[in-house]
Amino acid sequence: MLLQDVDSRIDRVSAEMNEIPREKLIHEKELASQEVEYQREKRKLEEIRESSGKCIESKKEIENRLADFKNKLLEMKTNEAYRAMLDQIEYAEKKMSDLDLEIIEKMYEEEQGEADLEEARKIWERNKKRTEKRQEILDGQLEVLKENMEKLMEERVEVSSEINKRLLVKYEQLRATDRGQVVVGLQKGTCGGCLTNIPQQTAVEISQGETYICPICGRFVIWTDDSSMAGAN
C-alpha cells in the first residue's frame, strides 16, 4: 500500500530527526564534563601553589628565628640556658630541613599539576573544535531532513486523497496504536499479522485485489508478491 510506504519513510526521517538533538546533547555533556575536569585541575594547581607559598613563608620565619637564637646564644649566662638555646637551635634546624624537603616536593607537584592542567586544556579545546564542526554538520543534516519531511507530508496528502475515507480512518487508527505493520500480506491463507485463518472465499477476493480488514488484529490484509492461499507453499 502506497500510504504505508510513505508513512514508513516519514517514520524513518522522523527517527533521524530525533537522533540529531540526542547526539548534540551527548556532545554538550561531554564538553561540560571536560570543562569541569579542566577547572578541577586548575584548582588543584592553585592549591599546590598556595601550600608551597606557605612552606616558603614558614622557612623564612624559621630562618629569622634561627639567626635570633644564634645571636642570643652568645649572651647566655649559664650553662643550662646555653644548653636550652642549643636545643632550640637544633629543633629549628631540623624543622628547616623538613621544610626544604617539602618545598622541593611541592615544586615537583607543581610541575605535574601544570602538565595535568595543560593536558586537560588541550583535551577540552580539541573537543570544542571537533564538536563545533560536528554541530554544523548536524544542523545541515537537520535542514535536509526537514525538507524531506515537508515533501513526504505533501506526498502523504496526495496519496491519502486517493484512498477510501472509511479505510483511511481505520488505517490512521491502527497507525496511532503503533503496532508495527498496518498492512500485511496474506500468508498461506492466514493474516500475515496474527496468523488467523482467513476464509477461502475471502482469500480469493484478496488475491483479486480486494482490501480486507482482519477481524482479529484489525490489520489490512492484501495480496503481496509472497502471498499464498491455504495449503499452498
Q: Which is nearer to Zn ion, 180 or 209 (CB)?
A: 180
Let me know how many helices (H) and strands (E) the chain has, helices first: 4, 4
CB burial of residue 87 (10 Å; 0-12, 13-18, 19+): exposed
73: left (phi over 0), alpha (psi -120 to 50) or beta: alpha
Q: Read off the DSSP letter of residue 182.
A: S
Q: For residues 25 and 195, which CB has a smaller minimum distance to Zn ion in the complex?
A: 195
What would the x/- binding string for Zn ion be over residues 156 to 195, using CB under 5 A?
A: -----------------------------------x-xx-
**120 versus 183: smaller Cβ distance to Zn ion:** 183
Residue keyed to cell 477476493: 205
Nearby residues of 92 by Cβ (< 8 Å), 6 or more positions away: 62, 65, 66, 69
Name the residue nearer to Zn ion (CB basis): 163 or 194. 194
Nearest approach, Cβ of residue 5 and Zn ion (Å): 20
- How many residues in the shown chain lie near Zn ion by CB under 5 A? 7
Whole-number minimum distance, CB 182 to Zn ion, in Å? 11
Query: In whole angstroms, what is the distance from residue 139 CA to residue 124 CA?
Result: 22
Mark residues 205-224: x for contact with Zn ion by CB under 5 A, - for none. Answer: ---------x-xx-------
Shortest distance in whole angstroms from residue 190 CB to Zn ion: 8
Give the type of residue at 143: E
Tell me how far, at minimum, the Cβ of 195 lies from Zn ion, in Å. 7
Binding residues (CB under 5 A) for Zn ion: these are 191, 193-194, 196, 214, 216-217
